[in-house]
């Protein structure tokens, strides 16, 4: 079954054709990152306009890259939630138009379910059940994936997402948006023991995260140094901060694995590109089955949407022309 996936939830306009949820036949991503960089973050209005300009060309390229036309496509999968509402609407309306004109089924896909499905592409042998750490720019969750469309949140962030915690700290250190990737790069040459950071706790919810305290403590460190006219070594600060965030994520993930008895551990989302997180997970291979997405499928893409779309379709989850975008929606149902 060939599924055309469409993704426009944030600042990447993406389209992809995936066969049977696992085989990527084409994968086109038009990134807007440079257009938002000057503002230090994604500007929703600009994102919507740029998606509108790019979507037709990106979808046409996804078809031509695998020598297909709409006649070869069996269904259209689209990210409908969560994300920037104006951005999501561009993809949803484009997919609805395609579905109406071609008569092919329309499949709504939750963006975070898509991130999890990036692992079905990278690891063809991976099947639920498993435990997944989903860490992106907007979300941080520990999810028990009982089936392809049966998911349960076992831990979540109470404030910032892990990607946000990286981006905000990186911004304070003077790095360009999105700073997570730059912070990760600079951290490679730093001493991770140079600075210490608190390990926040969420009362009564040991598997939940809170990143705001970590972010505040790096901001305070930088302000105090500035007031004293001191320059902190950015690589040491980045390395220490990265260690604090990654150890915090890993600590909760392992705790959740013990509590749920899950032996298959999976990571997904933009932050799964983090070098230290990947190394820490790989180091657990003697105790757990570890699955990490290929780097090109960590960030937002439409192949992951088409992959999850296949399993949503098999579960009977299609939509009609009433489909609407939703800025917020739980991954559970």
Q: Is 136 in the site for Zn ion (CB under 5 A)?
A: yes
For residue 250, give the 3-state DSSP assignment.
helix
Taking the alpha carbons of 137, 201, 145, 250 in that order, is the dihedral positive or negative? positive
Q: Which does 6 bind (CB under 5 to 8 A by kind): Zn ion, ligand KG4, none?
A: none
What part of residues 27-46 is at the interface with ligand KG4 (CB under 6 A)? Answer: none
Tokens found for residue 111: 């963006």
Q: How far apart are the C-alpha atoms of 95 and 76, rounded to whole Å?
A: 7
If one asks whether residue 137 binds ligand KG4 (CB under 6 A), the answer comes out as yes
Q: Are 303 and 27 a contacting pair, CB within 8 Å?
A: yes
The alpha carbon dihedral of 51, 53, 54, 59 has a sign of: positive
Return the residues of window 260-299 that contact ligand KG4 according to CB under 6 A.
Answer: 269-271, 273-274, 299
Q: Find the distance separating the first CA and the last CA of the chain, reported in whole Å.
A: 24
Using CB under 6 A as the binding rule, whether residue 180 contacts ligand KG4 is answered as: yes
**Shortest CB 291 distance to ligand KG4, Å:** 17
Letters for 295-314 (x = contact with Zn ion by CB under 5 A, - = none) are -----x--------------
122 binds ligand KG4 (CB under 6 A): no
Per partner kind, with CB cut-offs from 5 to 8 A, the member of Zn ion, ligand KG4, none near residue 114 is: none
Q: From residue 320, how far is each of 113, 153, 317 by CA, in Å?
A: 20, 28, 10
Compute CA distances 213 → 138, 169, 223, 239, whole Å.
17, 11, 15, 17
Q: Of 47-55, 122-130, 132-140, 168-176, which part binds Zn ion (CB under 5 A)?
A: 132-140
Shortest Å distance, C-beta 230 to ligand KG4? 26
Instruction: Calculate the CA 28 to chain-centre distance.
Output: 17
Please choose, out of 33-41, 71-79, 135-143, 301-309, the segment that lies near Zn ion by the rule CB under 5 A: 135-143
Measured from the CB of residue 203, what is the shortest distance to ligand KG4 in angstroms? 27
Residue 7 contacts Zn ion per CB under 5 A? no
Please tell me whether residue 236 binds ligand KG4 under the rule CB under 6 A: no
Number of residues this chain uses to bind Zn ion (CB under 5 A): 2
> Read out DSSP for 142-177?
EEEEEETTEEEEEEEBSSS-HHHHHHHHHHHTTPPS
HSE-up (13 A, CA, CB side) for residue 159: 12
Residues that bind Zn ion (CB under 5 A): 136, 300
Residues that bind ligand KG4 (CB under 6 A): 10, 136-138, 163, 166-167, 178, 180-181, 184, 269-271, 273-274, 299-300
């Amino acid at each position: 079954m060939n599924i055309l996936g469409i993704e426009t939830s944030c600042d990447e306009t993406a389209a992809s054709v995936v066969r049977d949820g696992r085989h990527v036949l084409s994968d086109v991503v038009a990134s807007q990152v440079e257009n938002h960089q000057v503002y230090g973050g994604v500007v929703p209005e600009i994102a919507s306009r740029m998606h509108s300009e790019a979507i037709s060309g990106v979808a046409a390229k996804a078809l031509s890259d695998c020598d297909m036309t709409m006649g070869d496509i069996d269904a259209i999968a689209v990210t409908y939630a969560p994300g920037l509402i104006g951005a999501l609407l561009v993809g949803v309306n484009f997919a609805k138009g395609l579905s109406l004109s071609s008569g092919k089924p329309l499949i709504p896909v939750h963006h975070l379910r898509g991130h999890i499905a990036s692992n079905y592409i990278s690891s063809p042998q991976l099947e639920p059940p498993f435990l997944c750490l989903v860490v992106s720019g907007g979300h941080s969750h520990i999810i028990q994936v009982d089936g392809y469309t049966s998911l349960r949140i076992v831990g979540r962030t109470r404030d910032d997402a892990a990607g946000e915690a990286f981006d905000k700290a990186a911004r304070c250190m003077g790095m360009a948006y999105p700073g997570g990737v730059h912070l990760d790069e600079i951290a490679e040459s730093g001493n991770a023991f140079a600075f210490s950071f608190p390990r926040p706790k969420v009362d009564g919810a040991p598997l939940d995260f809170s990143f705001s305290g970590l972010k505040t403590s790096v901001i305070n460190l930088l302000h105090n140094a500035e007031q004293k006219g001191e320059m902190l070594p950015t690589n040491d600060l980045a390395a220490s901060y990265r260690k604090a965030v990654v150890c915090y994520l890993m600590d909760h993930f392992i705790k959740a694995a013990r509590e749920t008895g899950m032996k298959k551990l999976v990571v997904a989302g933009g932050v799964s590109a983090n070098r230290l997180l990947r190394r820490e997970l790989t180091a657990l291979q003697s105790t757990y089955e570890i699955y990490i997405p290929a780097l090109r499928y960590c960030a937002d893409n439409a192949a992951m949407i088409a992959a999850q779309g296949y399993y949503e379709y098999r579960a009977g989850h299609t939509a009609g022309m009433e489909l609407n975008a939703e800025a917020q929606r739980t991954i559970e149902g």
